[in-house]
Amino acid sequence: MLLRCFSHPQNYALVRTPFVPNRRYVLDLTAADGLLATRGAMKAITKSGLALLAVTALVAVFVVVRTSTYRPPAAPGAIEVQLADALPVDLDRAAHHLSEAVRFRTVSHQDASQNDVAEWDRFHAWLQETYPAAHAAMTREVVAGHTLVYTWPGDDPTRAPIILMAHQDVVPVTPGTESDWRHGPFDGVIDEGAVWGRGSVDNKSSLIALFEAIEALAVDGFAPAASVIVLSGHDEEAGGSGAAAAAALLRDRGVRAEFALDEGLAIVADFPLLGRPVALIGIAEKGYGTLRVTAAAAGGHSSAPPSETGVATLARAVLAITERPFEMRFQGPAADMVRTLAPEAGFAVKLAVANEWLFEPLLIRQIGATPAGAASLHTTIAPTMLRGSPKENVLPQDAAAWINYRIAPWQTSAEVLERARAATAGLDVTVEWERPPYEPSPVSSITSRSWQILSAVAASGGEWPVAPGLVTATTDSRSLTGVATDIYRFQAIVASLREFEMIHGTNEHLTLDNLARMTSFYTRLIATTAR
């Protein structure tokens, strides 16, 4: 019993004592109050615990309901699509033609004066000779020197045209690596079930498959209701001025295409989220720009350096910029990709995506764990070149660094420049664009008729889901903004993530299966969309 003992008033402490008769006791109200308060607190805690449990239960129910009723944003079936029948593909003929196309050295150097422009002329003549029915069906225009614009006029002038794109040029072969190729990079050898050589994938494969499809359709008597425009740039690998000029021509004519389709994404055989093939169609591409950071200095002899050299100032500036990365966000095309594939990925992924309000940090952490994944969630910053003194014992009069940015669709080049200048405030440097940057492209629809047809044709080639995605590189299609309502980026080829590394690399090659798939894809796309 907790009592205050009045027989010992000097001991004003609480004691635990047995009850003795005839002794005066009084309850220590302070202690009693404390006890009651403790009991009250316990009751309150109990009530709070029950309330928390109730809230947790409600959240759990809410999460489960959202998961069970989740519907992906790019769900098929919004528009009923009746695909046209696929025409048979003469694979031997197509392989032979791609082999011949690879042999034309339409190499785009960064310095255009190094280009062998006669190769483009020879290539154009070969196209006309090789595809007579296609050239009889289409009108042909040459823009900006060697960019080609073909028009297959439709019978219904009220129908919006479609634009199909594939560039002619290829990147150079790195000097000294020629012997590393299994077959000569411009020999166009057909071996081991593939066509080998520079451009066999990027991007003469698309151009040849496209012409094979149009040739077959024309011979078969197909007459499009909607016009089909083929745009083939000559310098995509060196800036895309040809495609920009062609786009300006179409814009001046008031062309407003239903959609444009260019290279960009493909069918990834080992897509990490599912561990099986997924057809990814790019619905946007990141912006592109390179900042030049310059630190001025007095120069002089390295034996008597100032307290801080221009190189040191430049180094601090580069670090200041790179140490302030743009935050990753679960939004835009990359988020739509995950949202679309969530039902295919299992319950855990579906639960996380259906309840982004709760699991968004986890999604960002998981996707951003790889460089490629992180690149899809934010604007990237990549220092690529440095310039200082021409001699080891000479202080440079100025030092410069070039920092390449790939700008996320929700940001602008102005934001990038402002952020870089803020990071270097207080340092004696100038920060300017090396050349005018490209802004991120608009994000195309994943519910339109164009998307439904394109995704249906892409899915018809095999057992794989289709999802939107973000192209982190740049394509000629960026120039088509305002010319086409929607712009998509897709090649109907199947390859593993490792196999895609051959693009711009050594031993570039396209399997014959992929060549057949690409040709059939273009045939069905044209026949379905333009009929």
Residues with a known catalytic role: 169, 236
Is residue 444 classed as helix, strand or coil in its secondary structure? coil
Beta bridge partners of 499: none
Nearest Cα residue to 428 out of 305, 303, 320, 290? 320
- From edge to edge, which strands make up the β-sheet containing 2-5? 15-16, 2-5, 25-26
For strands 429-433 and 287-296, give the pairing: antiparallel
Phi, psi of 437 (to 5 degrees): -80, 160
Reported as type and span, the H/E element at residue 441 is none
The burial of 318, by beta-carbon neighbours within 10 Å (0-12 exposed, 13-18 middle, 19 or more buried), is given as buried
Is residue 443 classed as helix, strand or coil in its secondary structure? coil
Strands (E) in 153-204, as ranges, are 162-165, 190-191, 194-196
- Structure tokens, 72: 């992906």
Using CA atoms in the order 494, 264, 74, 410, what is the torsion angle rounded to 10 degrees?
A: 150
Length of the chain in terms of residues written: 531
Q: Would you put residue 422 in left (φ > 0), alpha (ψ -120 to 50) or beta?
A: alpha
CA pair distance 256, 224, nearest whole angstrom: 17
Nearest Cα residue to 403 out of 295, 311, 321? 321
Sign of CA dihedral 364, 366, 369, 370: negative
Question: In angstroms, how far apart are the furthest CA atoms of the chain?
Answer: 126
Q: How many helices (H) and strands (E) does the chain have?
A: 14, 20
**Are residues 468 and 333 in contact, defined by beta-carbon separation less than 8 angstroms?**
yes
Phi, psi of 290 (to 5 degrees): -125, 120
